[in-house]
């Protein structure tokens, strides 16, 4: 009995050599024409349509084999699902030479190998749609065995759950856990639905720089690098906001981008240093219009992704159907802490944090302290989609002052299942006010706040040419994907989440 992976690999390499000795190329170059997928055959085949399925060409990975002597049943898996195939020795080897069946099929092929087959579709006595194989070809010999999963009636009920394996070897995880593949198919549907919504309304998809000389558009710690040819420091973008606003200055009325962003910060179940933000900016609109547009877009996206506006996350039903509740951040804090902080200065806020047992440090200004209070004591209570609105000016250096409420700005965050999903503003387009806000951020940086914003002088110059009144928003795509796929960890909606390098790579 084989007891270690290395022994299994050695056996498979021995089979590889035997195939080559028989003149069989285990990694052939010629194109293999596929006529049908597993899903197509299962959905479309009926006994009345047998004629259309008499010459089927199919390719897939061997997932299981039932040996019946002169005949075998096997299950092959392609990108659409699994299908049973029936292989009979005398069909594969009609003459005296039975090597292809007795040696190649029964002895030299393994679970995980990829083969191409040709044959016809039929329904077995047990009622299962299957392919009767008339010929087969080895397309890829797998040298590593697949992880073992437990199945019943063709469904996985004991999938691989080892996180080190799942995240580091996603390619193998996708093979053996069909539910993982379904998650990423849903994420593609989600993104396509968002694009369709925006495109149908006249928005223009654009691309902006990933390497930036000023890491602007958000309050976050950047990754730094160096451009050798120009001999200048550069940063991986933390946001694309300031570039999209430049395009509004340039005359586009509605622009959007799915932006891959990088923030040199902590990692947990809702944070990864590399992530995707959808941002869009629309001229002549405000944050009230943006709330209405967000509700409509997310409801349509949920239905396009799952067929319903309701999603289940960790046993909780969340409904994306519009409209969403709206609560001011001061009211939220008062409701969940008992403190009315609306008129407090920095010292007062520090005392509130002390009473609430929220840790602070000297680098934190008024905005950061309020953010800590809301994040630590309030955010978790908002499970159903809720707009938290009307933030203090100190929390929002890129946001237009509130038209009716002094000291506040026209901003909202969308909170779902206790986490921020989107952040939106009536955008600040006063270049003098914007310069002063940037200068306030520099003062915070001098106090030791590593997440404070840099001054982007080119952006200020752009604003001086005149940016029309504009509404803007940024969505955390992975967090939205977690909700719509029912996952509770961001690593489960990233194909390749960030991990430490392996100590010994093989």
- Strands 155-158, 150-152: pairing is antiparallel
Contact present, 239 and 217 (Cβ < 8 Å):
yes
User: What region does 279 belong to: left with phi over 0, alpha with psi -120 to 50, or beta?
Assistant: beta
Domain residue spans of the chain? 5-146, 180-324+384-493
pLDDT at 220: 84
- How far is Cα of residue 173 from the mean position of the Cα atoms in its chain? 16
pLDDT at 442: 83
The CATH code belonging to domain 180-324+384-493 is 3.30.930.10
pLDDT at 150: 65
Partners of 471 in beta bridges: 282, 426
CA–CA separation, 353 and 359 (whole Å): 7
The CATH code belonging to domain 5-146 is 2.40.50.140
pLDDT at 396: 83
Residue 105 gets which letter from DSSP?
I
In the chain (506 residues long), the average pLDDT of successive 10-residue segments reads 69 96 93 96 93 96 93 96 96 91 95 97 95 97 88 60 90 93 97 98 97 85 94 95 96 98 90 95 98 98 98 96 97 96 93 95 88 95 97 86 92 96 95 90 79 84 97 96 96 93 70
Dihedral pair phi/psi, residue 167, rounded to 5°: -85, -30
pLDDT at 3: 46
pLDDT at 162: 86
pLDDT at 379: 96
| pTM of the full structure | 0.89
> Cis peptide before 275, with omega less than 30 degrees from 0?
no
């Amino acid at each position: 009995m084989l007891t270690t992976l290395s022994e299994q690999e050695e056996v498979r390499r021995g089979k590889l050599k035997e195939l080559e000795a028989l003149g069989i190329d285990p990694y052939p170059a010629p194109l293999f024409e596929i006529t049908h997928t597993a899903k197509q055959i299962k959905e479309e085949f009926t006994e009345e349509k047998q004629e259309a399925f008499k010459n089927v060409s199919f390719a897939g990975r061997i997932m299981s084999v039932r040996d019946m002597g002169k005949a075998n049943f096997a299950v092959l898996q392609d990108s659409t699902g699994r299908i049973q195939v029936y292989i009979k020795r005398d069909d594969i080897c009609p003459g005296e030479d039975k090597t292809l069946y007795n040696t190649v099929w029964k002895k030299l092929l393994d679970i995980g190998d990829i083969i191409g087959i040709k044959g016809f579709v039929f329904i077995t006595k047990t009622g299962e749609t299957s392919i009767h194989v008339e010929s087969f070809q080895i397309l890829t010999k797998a040298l590593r065995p697949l992880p073992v999963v437990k199945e019943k009636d063709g469904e996985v009920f004991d999938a691989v759950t080892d996180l080190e394996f799942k995240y580091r070897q996603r390619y193998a995880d996708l093979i053996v856990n069909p539910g993982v593949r379904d998650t990423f198919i849903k994420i593609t549907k989600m993104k396509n639905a968002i694009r369709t919504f925006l495109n149908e309304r006249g928005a223009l998809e654009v691309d902006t720089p990933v390497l930036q000389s000023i890491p602007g558009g958000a309050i976050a710690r950047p990754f730094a690098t160096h451009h050798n040819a120009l001999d200048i420091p550069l940063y991986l973008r933390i946001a694309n906001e300031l570039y999209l606003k430049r395009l509004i200055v340039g005359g586009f009325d509605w622009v959007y981008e799915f932006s891959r962003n990088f923030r040199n910060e902590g990692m947990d179940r809702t944070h990864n240093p590399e992530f995707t933000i959808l941002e869009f900016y629309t001229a002549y609109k405000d944050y009230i219009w943006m709330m209405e547009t967000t509700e409509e877009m997310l409801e349509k996206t949920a239905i396009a992704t799952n067929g319903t506006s309701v999603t289940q996350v960790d046993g909780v039903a969340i409904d994306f159907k519009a409209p969403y509740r709206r609560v001011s951040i001061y009211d939220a804090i008062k409701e969940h802490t008992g403190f009315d902080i609306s008129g407090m200065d920095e010292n007062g806020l520090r005392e509130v944090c002390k009473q609430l047992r929220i840790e602070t440090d000297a680098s934190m200004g008024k905005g950061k302290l309020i953010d800590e209070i809301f994040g630590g004591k309030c955010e978790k209570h908002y499970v159903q989609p809720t707009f938290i609105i009307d933030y203090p000016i100190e929390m929002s250096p890129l946001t237009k002052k509130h038209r009716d409420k002094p000291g506040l700005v026209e901003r909202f965050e969308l909170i779902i299942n206790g986490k921020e999903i989107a952040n939106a503003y009536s955008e600040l387009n006063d270049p003098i006010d914007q310069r002063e806000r940037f200068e306030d951020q520099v003062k915070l940086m001098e106090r030791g706040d590593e997440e404070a914003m840099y001054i982007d002088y080119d952006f200020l110059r752009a604003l001086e040419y005149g940016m029309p009144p504009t509404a803007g928003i940024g969505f955390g795509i992975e967090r939205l994907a977690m909700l719509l796929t029912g996952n509770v960890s961001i690593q489960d909606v990233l194909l390749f989440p960030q991990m430490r390098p392996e100590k010994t790579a093989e």
